[in-house]
């Protein structure tokens, strides 16, 4: 059995990924703040192995326990184990002096601290499993290009990219190391995009540009993105690919 852990699995890319990976040869362990009845019903219909753990990733103090719970579903001899750190938040939007301490803290917690802690625990708990192990960090072009009004989001995603680089260097020294990549998926038609389009221009000066992406049909669907991410993981040269990737260039 191939095992996949997916954060932020109740909607958007995470939900689409879960649907794409739901088949008889996989075990899916999904987490989000609320359980997806749709995914649970689909898994039952397909006879697939799906566990769903309700958890708010901003509660960083219990993330190691969350990983322990997820790993409890891993069989003794899995074919592979993959952690997909997909969950993310765009808020707060606006100039940094207008962002509250609580909003900044939550943004960095979900976008950066949670993937770091989960990845750390994943590597530690599975170091004796001599099977392919992967960490897919879902990043953003905002981690590579600054946007006024998105200071927290940009900082979190830039940190995620650089964290991935550092961990990759560490894991290359290990005989059964984890392959880590940080992937910008492009501009996807998700609830995050709806939130961006609803922003006042004074808080995000490029809002009209993002509205234009929707009006001109330039947004990828979560389903298209999920298929591309699965294809990425299945590539024969995946283990030798660069750490920081853009899905649109592959």
Each residue of 50-68: pLDDT tens digit? Answer: 999 999 999 999 999 999 9
Quickly state the pLDDT bin for 219 (edges 50, 70, 90): confident
Quickly state the pLDDT bin for 152 (edges 50, 70, 90): very high
Please tell me the predicted confidence (pLDDT) of residue 4: 98
Residue 110, pLDDT > 90, answer: yes
Which of 204, 180, 179, 182 has the alpha carbon at shortest distance from 193?
204
Q: What is the mean pLDDT of residues 121-144?
A: 97
Q: Is 153 a catalytic residue?
A: yes
pLDDT in tens, 91-102: 999 999 999 999
| Mean pLDDT for the chain overall | 95
Quickly state the pLDDT bin for 216 (edges 50, 70, 90): confident
Q: Which of 73, 77, 147, 153 is catalytic?
A: 153
Please tell me the predicted confidence (pLDDT) of residue 99: 97
Whole-number percent of the chain with pLDDT over 90: 89
- The domains of the chain are located at 2-186+222-249
Q: Which CATH architecture is the domain 2-186+222-249 placed in?
A: 3-Layer(aba) Sandwich (3.40)
Please tell me the predicted confidence (pLDDT) of residue 218: 81
Please tell me the predicted confidence (pLDDT) of residue 217: 87
pLDDT in tens, 3-53: 999 999 999 999 999 999 998 889 999 999 999 999 999 999 888 899 999
Q: Give one DSSP letter per residue of 39-79, joined into a string.
A: HHHHHHHHT-EEEEEE--TT-GGGHHHHHHHHHTT--SS-S
Please tell me the predicted confidence (pLDDT) of residue 51: 96
Long-range contacts of 32-38 (CB under 8 A, 24+ apart): 32/7, 32/8, 32/87, 34/10, 35/10, 36/9, 36/10, 36/11
Quickly state the pLDDT bin for 77 (edges 50, 70, 90): very high
Number of H helices, E strands in the chain: 9, 7
Please tell me the predicted confidence (pLDDT) of residue 47: 85
pTM of the model: 0.95
Q: What is the mean pLDDT of residues 64-73?
A: 98
């Amino acid at each position: 059995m191939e095992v996949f852990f997916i954060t932020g699995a109740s909607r958007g890319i995470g939900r689409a990924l879960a649907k794409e990976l739901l088949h008889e040869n996989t075990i899916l362990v999904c987490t989000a703040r609320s359980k997806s009845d749709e995914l649970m019903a689909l898994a039952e219909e397909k006879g697939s192995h799906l566990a769903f753990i309700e958890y708010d990733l901003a509660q960083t103090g219990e993330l190691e326990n969350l990983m322990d719970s997820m790993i409890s579903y891993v069989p003794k001899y899995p074919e592979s184990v993959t952690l997909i750190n997909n969950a993310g938040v765009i808020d707060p939007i606006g100039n940094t002096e207008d962002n509250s301490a609580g909003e900044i803290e939550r943004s960095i917690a979900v976008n950066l601290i949670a993937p770091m802690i989960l990845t750390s625990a994943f590597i530690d708990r599975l170091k004796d499993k001599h099977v392919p192990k992967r960490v897919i960090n879902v990043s953003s072009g905002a981690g590579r290009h600054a946007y006024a009004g998105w200071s927290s989001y940009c900082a979190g995603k830039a940190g995620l990219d650089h964290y991935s680089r550092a961990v990759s260097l560490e894991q290359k020294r290990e005989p059964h190391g984890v392959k880590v990549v940080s992937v910008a998926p492009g501009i996807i038609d998700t609830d995050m995009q709806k939130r961006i389009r609803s922003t006042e221009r004074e808080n995000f000066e490029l809002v009209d540009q993002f509205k234009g992406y929707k009006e001109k049909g330039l947004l990828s669907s979560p389903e298209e993105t999920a298929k591309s991410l699965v294809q990425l993981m299945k590539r024969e040269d995946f283990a030798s690919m660069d750490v920081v990737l853009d899905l649109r260039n592959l």
